[in-house]
Amino acid sequence: MASFAVVGGGLAGISVAHRLHHAGHHVVVFEKSRGQGGRLSTRRLADWQVDHGTQYFTARSAEFQAEVNRWQSLGWVQLWSVEPWMLHRETFTPSPDNQQRFVGVPTMNAMVHGLSEGLEFYSECRIDRLEKQQQKWRLWDGHGEHYGLFDAVILTAPLAQSLALLPAGAKAEASLRQATMTPTWAFGLALAEPSGIKADALFANDGIVTWACRDSCKPGRPSHYESWIVHFSPKWTANHLDASEDLLHQQVVHLLERLAGKPIRIHEYFKHRWLHARSSKQGNVIPLWDVDNGVGLAGDWTVGSRLEDAWLSAQTLAEQLLSDFAQ
């Protein structure tokens, strides 16, 4: 039996931990936030909620489709039959496609909760430093507490946070330095009265907003209020990293009133800034397992920018670890 420390409790971290744990290894997951799921996140307020990170996910590979089918049969995810619209300059038109879109129920991270059952999990534990001792890893958190020793450490935090922990001279260092992730402002709201907006979801191409959707129409969501989430474009966000609540509010009201064709009244709202939202990775190959250093990497940004990429990277890494640490 080998021992593994996993930094990050998003889908990638929990998936790789799940595989190793069920193969009989000792695994401990360290997560800086209160709960699991990472960017699969749902903000819950009184009588309403909104997914402010991942909006839905698709399954393009046969492996991931099989896993999603399993999650569906366990009641962790459901198909979201939504017909998106497209907003381009002044035109607002249906944009049907054949994509199957899935969401976690009742919150986006439901499958991460399911997969984490039985795992040793430290929440609110931000790992700040890795230290090598006798060929093993000791982990230090932000309060000066240490954990370990582990045979290998697996970094699944977003790119910048994983790079900050990566030991100098690690195999992946150069490729990580070339990669980037872009930010996204998210603005969630509940309406005081129905908007009458025809579309449940829309992709936008107006330079400011990329996506808006009626979150309350997703399966398994509370329906007391009509709730919406709006995502601002990476470029606009990067240029307005310190945007005030007023500025975001003004842009969102302008958009929703354009779509509704009438004034809207907001009951409650919040903003959330994702500094490391999506990878802008363009084909540089990131080695996931560094056997010499005993450091593994997983996460969407190692292969792409979607939830499926996070899961696939975790499976690839798990296969390599299970083979190298075969009992």
Ligand X SMILES: Cc1cc2nc3c(=O)[nH]c(=O)nc-3n(C[C@H](O)[C@H](O)[C@H](O)COP(=O)(O)OP(=O)(O)OC[C@H]3O[C@@H](n4cnc5c(N)ncnc54)[C@H](O)[C@@H]3O)c2cc1C
**Residues making contact with ligand X (CB under 6 A):** 7-13, 30-33, 38-40, 53-57, 126-127, 156-158, 161, 184, 186, 231, 274, 277-278, 299-300, 306-307, 310
Nearer to ligand X, 79 or 192 (CB): 79
Question: At closest approach, how far in Å is the CB of 55 from ligand X?
Answer: 4
Buried b (16+ CB within 10 A) or exposed e, 16-25: bbbbbbebeb
Question: At closest approach, how far in Å is the CB of 262 from ligand X?
Answer: 28
Nearer to ligand X, 47 or 63 (CB): 63
In terms of Cα–Cα distance, which of 65, 128, 48 is closest to 99?
65
Question: At closest approach, how far in Å is the CB of 196 from ligand X?
Answer: 25
What does the DSSP assignment read for 226-289?
EEEEEEE-HHHHHHTTT--HHHHHHHHHHHHHHHHTS---EEEEEEEEEEEEEE---S-----E
Spatial strand order in the sheet of 127-133 = 127-133, 136-141, 146-150
Nearer to ligand X, 175 or 260 (CB): 175
Question: At closest approach, how far in Å is the CB of 126 from ligand X?
Answer: 4
Q: What is the three-class DSSP state of 322?
A: helix
Question: 161: which 2 tokens?
Answer: 């946070």
177 alpha-carbon distance from chain centroid: 21
Q: What is the three-class DSSP state of 158?
A: coil
Question: At closest approach, how far in Å is the CB of 261 from ligand X?
Answer: 27
Nearer to ligand X, 71 or 260 (CB): 71
Question: At closest approach, how far in Å is the CB of 68 from ligand X?
Answer: 11
Nearer to ligand X, 2 or 312 (CB): 312
Nearer to ligand X, 157 or 202 (CB): 157
Residue 76: how many other CB atoms lie within 10 Å: 19
CB 326 within 8 A of CB 299: no
Question: At closest approach, how far in Å is the CB of 21 from ligand X?
Answer: 16
* Dihedral of alpha carbons 192, 272, 125, 321, sign: positive
Nearer to ligand X, 25 or 218 (CB): 218
The C-alpha R_g of the chain, in whole angstroms, comes to 21
